[in-house]
Amino acid sequence: MNTVQSIIIAIIEGITEFLPISSTAHMKFANPFLGIASTPFVDLFEIVIQLAAIASVVVIYRKKFFDFKLYSFYIKLMIAVIPALIFGAILKKHIDAALGNLWAIAIVMVAGGVILLFIDKFFEKAETSKSQASDQTSDQENVTYKKSFIIGCFQVLSILFPGLSRSAATIIGGMSQQLNKKTALEFSFFLAVPTMLAASAKSTLDVYKTSPEVFGKDNLILLLIGAVVAFIVALLSVQFFMRIVQKYGFAPFGWYRIILGLSILGLLYTHFLS
């Protein structure tokens, strides 16, 4: 991976991280087109820049994220991240294999798109009934410990099926628990922080144990460049996502996923992509 490739991948990550279209799938799809081979460093790079992109949440929502008076908020995040930590550790081999299967990722991309087409309609009544209550109740009060755990279980789906999208899974999980879109979106953003922090720490440790040469000066510079670019782009992406979802719902992202997934499947079938 060279500097230009790292910047392009970081831009893709920053744009897609908070959208329900799977940033992981987009990076995996982009790698062959950019001539990027799968190596321990590339795998680590993709994880680390995801954490950098997610760090933008801490900046944008710093008042909410660092409101230490609401300590229950942090407990809820810890509860919600537990399922991902458990299944991530147990199913590591499955995850690594699935991440290398573009066919599977593309199929999940299409399936997830179909689901998004109907999500707004499915949760329409709950969204309407909760809209007035949400004006009077804080986000933290709406997200109970039980709901946090269930949302965390939904996040596991994105681990089992790469390409599903962590944000899509957790947002749907939140809405299934009668949270309105705004609360579900924000909790999904917050939950990403401990989730990717744990994933980055685990990946860094694993790579250091098996391929310590990866942490050379040139690679560390690429990691820094990618992290900075992903962080800056993600700052803009979050605001865009919030506006689009509030105005148009999830259907546009559903259609996008279906079109992209079918396109990738077509390229794989004709051996243009492998």
* pLDDT value, residue 137: 44
Pairs from 159-162 (Cβ < 8 Å, separation ≥ 24): 159/84, 159/87, 159/88, 159/91, 159/95, 160/87, 160/91, 160/94, 161/98, 161/104, 161/108, 162/22, 162/24, 162/25, 162/28, 162/95, 162/98, 162/99, 162/104, 162/105, 162/108
Percent of the chain with pLDDT over 90: 70
The position carrying tokens 């998004």 is 116
Looking at residue 131, its pLDDT comes to 53
pTM of the model: 0.90
pLDDT given for residue 95 in this prediction: 84
pLDDT band at 140 (very low <50, low <70, confident <90, very high): low
In Å, what is the CA distance from 107 to each residue of 113, 139, 219, 268?
10, 35, 33, 11
Tell me the pLDDT tens digit for each residue of 77-107: 999 999 999 998 888 888 888 888 999 999 9
Q: Stretch 127-152: mean pLDDT, rounded?
A: 70
**Is 200 within 8 Å of 88 (Cβ atoms)?**
no
How many other CB atoms are there within 10 angstroms of residue 208's CB atom? 13
List the chain domain ranges. Answer: 3-269
